[in-house]
Amino acid sequence: MEVPKGKITTYGELAKAVGLKNGQRAVGRIMNKNPYPVIIPCHRVVKSDGKIGGYAYGVETKSSMLEKEGIKIKDGKILDLENRIHRF
């Protein structure tokens, strides 16, 4: 919930923030079970290589939500990744 609109974080960054060393996959599984995607904006969590990653409601939906927040995406990857990452 701390990742502001127009920013993203990675599964790895989020795992580190909650104390899960190498917990990227666990974070991904948790995000997939998010029952409140409007309240808890899990669409703002992406892969460390800039790829969108999965989303329970489909990659197209995730991409659309990110683009509405000003995130530029090309060929399934976040453009200008380093300037968009929110670090905890």
3-state SS string for 21-56: CCCHHHHHHHHHCCCCCCCCCHHHEECCCCECCCCC
First to last CA, the chain: 11
- 15, 30, 42, 52: the catalytic one is 42
Residue 42 falls in the annotated catalytic set: yes
Would you name the residues annotated as active-site residues?
42
